[in-house]
Amino acid sequence: MKLKLLISLLLLPLASQIACAQKPAAVAPGSQAADWTQASPATAKGKIDALELTDNQYGRKRKVWVYLPAGYNATSARPYPLIVSFDGQDYINDIPAPTILDNLAAAKKIEAPVQVFVDDSDDRLGDLANHQKFADFIAGQLVPWIRKNYHVTTQASETVLCGYSAGGLAASYVAYRYPSLFGNVLSQSGAYWRGNEGSSSDFEWLTSQYQSSPKLGIRFYIVVGGAETMKNFSGKSMIETNRHLRDVLLAKGYEVGYLEAPGGEHRPESWRTQLADGLIFLLPRH
């Protein structure tokens, strides 16, 4: 752990190095050593069910895709860990999460999980920008449906919310609203500058909520690109608002894995190389 902390601190500015060194939670860098995105004929493949749900919160049909790992057993003694990802098709096609999961499970880096990929509405930010009704759909409809139809965990500690950009924000928001269901957040370039309920004001609203509320039982893996330095109309850059959330969480005593990916940009080519490290951090083998 001391070695991980030392490597991570080398990636941060001096002020952040000092702040993190004084806080108890772990700060873990990504390994960045193995490429888990390449499919191999020798690796057993999971399968994907393409389905459709009636979203009662939004009053529309919503596509979902469910990844089942190779050898999935609906009657196994141990239920499968659960990952819920937003921007579902992107995580299937561009990241690509199914191949990454196949490789990680085959290498025994993580417990083989079930992963549910959720589509977005025509108004993507109407889902993902700190919206209560989206959190209510995920917690009140999607999760019960998953548990009814698939052999997945009921433990928050084995359930992960995952997303990029506004989806990273949404992962942290839904977990904040429903920590009894979601004990892990994997955020890639999270858009933490946004306000509540899609507002373009009250910047960094969710970070302020974590700061002002009692510590919740949530673990985080936060990755942001080292090149994400352009300021948006909030007056801050993606990297600045991710650092701010990290510092707030560490100050509250949360367990946080954090990485500023060297040269990383705000695009799938960056996120795909970092997903595996986040899963290894949040879903270690027992």
Determine the distance from the C-alpha atom of residue 211 to the mean position of all C-alpha atoms in its chain, rounded to a whole number: 20
Is pLDDT larger for residue 201 or for residue 283?
283
Q: How confident is the model at residue 226 (pLDDT cuts 50, 70, 90)?
A: very high
pLDDT of 6: 30
pLDDT beyond 90 at 115: yes
SS (H, E, C) 234-281: CCCEHHHHHHHHHHHHHHHCCCEEEEEECCCCCCHHHHHHHHHHHHHH
**Residue 38: inside a domain:** no
pLDDT beyond 80 at 27: no
pLDDT beyond 90 at 34: no
| Phi–psi pair at 212, nearest 5 degrees | -95, -10
**Residue 36: inside a domain:** no
**Residue 40: inside a domain:** no
**Residue 140: inside a domain:** yes
Is pLDDT larger for residue 286 or for residue 33?
286
Mean pLDDT calculated for residue range 183-195: 97
Strand pairing category for 159-164 and 82-85: parallel
pLDDT of 200: 80
**Residue 91: inside a domain:** yes
Q: How confident is the model at residue 286 (pLDDT cuts 50, 70, 90)?
A: low
Mean pLDDT calculated for residue range 7-29: 38
> Can you tell me the distance from the alpha carbon of 109 to that of 64, in angstroms, rounded to the nearest whole number?
26
pLDDT of 35: 87
Residues 6+ apart with CB under 8 A from 144: none
Mean pLDDT taken over the chain? 89
pLDDT beyond 90 at 206: yes
Measured CA distances, 208 to 24, 52, 245, 246, 273 (Å): 21, 35, 9, 12, 30
**Residue 106: inside a domain:** yes
**Residue 129: inside a domain:** yes
DSSP string over 89-155: HHHHHTS-HHHHHHHHHHTTSB---EEEEE---SSHHHHHTT-HHHHHHIIIIIHHHHHHHS-B---
Domain that holds residue 227: 2-31+45-282
Is pLDDT larger for residue 10 or for residue 170?
170
Which stretch of 27-31, 203-207, 220-224 has the lowest confidence by average pLDDT?
A: 27-31
The proportion of the chain whose per-residue pLDDT surpasses 90, expressed as a percent, equals: 81
**Two tokens at 173?**
């928001």
Structural domains in the chain (count): 1
Q: How confident is the model at residue 33 (pLDDT cuts 50, 70, 90)?
A: low
- Indicate which CATH number applies to the domain containing 150: 3.40.50.1820
Predicted confidence (pLDDT) per residue in 250-275, tens digit: 999 999 999 999 999 999 888 988 99
The proportion of the chain whose per-residue pLDDT surpasses 70, expressed as a percent, equals: 88
**Residue 94: inside a domain:** yes
Predicted confidence (pLDDT) per residue in 70-113, tens digit: 999 999 999 999 999 999 999 999 999 999 999 999 999 999 99
> Can you tell me the distance from the alpha carbon of 225 to that of 241, in angstroms, rounded to the nearest whole number?
12
